[in-house]
Amino acid sequence: MTAQAGFRRGLWDGISLVVGYFSIALSFGLLAVRLGFSPLEAQMVSAVVYAGASQFALVSLLAVGASAWSVAGVVVAMNLRHLFYGPALLSRMPADGPRLPRPLLAFGMTDEVFALASASLTRAHGDRWLFGVQMAAYGAWLAGTAAGAFASRWDVARLPAVDAALAFVLPALFLALLLPMLTRRHVLSLVVAGGTALMLAGWLPGHVTMLVAMVAGAAVAALRPQGGGDDAD
Amino acid sequence: MRTELLLAAVAGGVGTYLIRFLPMLAGDRLAALSGKGRSRRFLLALGPSAIVALLVLSARDLIVADGDTLSLPFGVLAAGAAVVVLVQRLTHNPALATLAGALAVGLGQALNFS
């Protein structure tokens, strides 16, 4: 796959993220403006922070008078789970040949991009494909924020059917990505990760639950006795 | 633009960026190792584990209403999930399966309200 073809394929494969990102960012734009921030300020937060749940926390905490440094600390703590994403994806990419600068790829390493890339990325795809997926997601995030900030001018009656469809986009995407992974080789780590998430979700914040579940599932995979073809993914 | 917002966004954004970027420096070295060690198996299993955790958390949000979170009837969710499974099995295309599942849930919700 050429570099340009890889990027275009990444943009195309990122379409499933675009729908989900647009709807979540739209909610963020609406919330930010309703909390008293300007559309430009909402857009700046989406452009600079680019991390879903922590952006909601950022504007909500600032709106009730929290200090900038304490809010920044919360944002960073909520995103600690991203520590593992880069190394996990790099281990699937070609080690030699021309490649994009890592600082460029790091910016777009979000939960959903990581999930999609984990399910799809092979050495044949390369880092241009990953960059294409990231650009599709980032574009949708900025466009959704702008649309939400713009829509906040009107008290638009929400349509339950549209709300329901948009709310189901991300679970549907994760389910579709998970299906090809339901093999005997993965099943134990998947059960441990899913079970951990299910047990902790009612007690801990989502970002902490996510981190613990992810590490628990991966630890089971790392510690189990090594069989044939373990590393093929 | 408010100074407090600018400061929080820039500090939070830079911190988030560093969390994403700094491990990649070590990741390049890890990726260069072609061995079959535990660290490599750990990294390869992170993706599937993250996906199942994200699925559990996002589906739970739809079932358990919390504040502004939308809660959907179980039957509508089950129908949406069945459509995702069916379309993914038939097409092996996650984007198509996602959109078909979302449309099914939207339609189910519309019928539920009519």
| Nearest neighbour of B46 by CB, restricted to A51, A76, A88 | A88
**Mean pLDDT over all residues of chain A?**
84
- The region of weakest confidence among A28-37, B23-32, B61-70 is B61-70
Mean pLDDT, residues B11-22 taken together: 94
Contacts of A91 in chain B (CB under 8 A): 27, 30-31, 40, 43-44
> Nearest-CA distance from A223 to chain B in Å?
7
CB contact under 8 A, B1 and A41: yes
Identify the pLDDT of residue B70. 60
- A194 or A61, higher pLDDT: A194
Q: What is the pLDDT of residues A150-174, one digit of tens each?
A: 887 765 546 778 778 878 887 888 8
- The region of weakest confidence among A107-111, A123-127, B97-101, B104-108 is A123-127
pLDDT reading at A43 higher than 90? yes
Identify the pLDDT of residue A71. 87
Contacts of B19 in chain A (CB under 8 A): 76, 79-80, 82-83
Do B25 and B13 share a structural domain? yes
Query: Could you tell me where the DSSP H helices lie in chain A?
Result: 3-13, 15-34, 39-48, 52-63, 68-78, 85-90, 102-107, 111-120, 126-151, 160-178, 184-200, 206-223
CB contact under 8 A, A213 and B49: yes
Mean pLDDT, residues B11-28 taken together: 88
Spatial CA neighbour of A13 closest among B24, B12, B96, B26:
B96
Strands (E), B1-114: none
Contact yes or no for A148/A28 (Cβ under 8 A): yes
- A48 or B54, higher pLDDT: A48
Do B14 and B27 share a structural domain? yes
Identify the pLDDT of residue A232. 38
Do B42 and B18 share a structural domain? no
| Nearest neighbour of B88 by CB, restricted to A67, A179, A214 | A179
Do B57 and B23 share a structural domain? no
Q: What is the pLDDT of residues B57-98, one digit of tens each?
A: 888 878 876 555 567 888 899 999 999 999 999 988 777 888
| Nearest neighbour of B49 by CB, restricted to A180, A218, A230 | A218
CB contact under 8 A, B30 and A222: no
Give the total number of structural domains in chain B. 3
pLDDT reading at B41 higher than 70? yes
Contact yes or no for A180/B94 (Cβ under 8 A): no
**Tokens 């294409």, residue located:** A132
CB contact under 8 A, B40 and A90: no
Task: Give the torsion through C-alpha atoms of A188, B61, A206, A210, to 10 deg.
Answer: 20
What count of other Cβ atoms lies within 10 Å of the Cβ of residue B99? 22
Do B76 and B112 share a structural domain? yes
* Helix or strand run (H / E) with residue B26: helix B3-32
Do B111 and B93 share a structural domain? yes
Contact yes or no for A221/B42 (Cβ under 8 A): yes
Residue of B nearest to A176 (CA): B94
Q: DSSP state, A101?
A: -
Spatial CA neighbour of A106 closest among A51, A46, A57:
A51
Q: DSSP state, A65?
A: T
Do B112 and B80 share a structural domain? yes
Mean pLDDT, residues A8-27 taken together: 87
Residue B53 structural domain:
36-71
Do B41 and B11 share a structural domain? no
Contact yes or no for A168/A176 (Cβ under 8 A): no
> Nearest-CA distance from A157 to chain B in Å?
15
Do B81 and B44 share a structural domain? no
Which 78-117 residues of chain A touch chain B by CB within 8 A? 79-80, 82-93, 95, 102-103, 105-107, 109, 111-112, 114-117
Spatial CA neighbour of A210 closest among B49, B55, B53:
B53
ipTM: 0.82
Between CA A208 and CA B69 the distance in angstroms is: 19
By residue count, chain B amounts to: 114
pLDDT reading at A231 higher than 60? no
pLDDT reading at B14 higher than 70? yes
CB contact under 8 A, B45 and A162: no
**Mean pLDDT over all residues of chain B?**
83
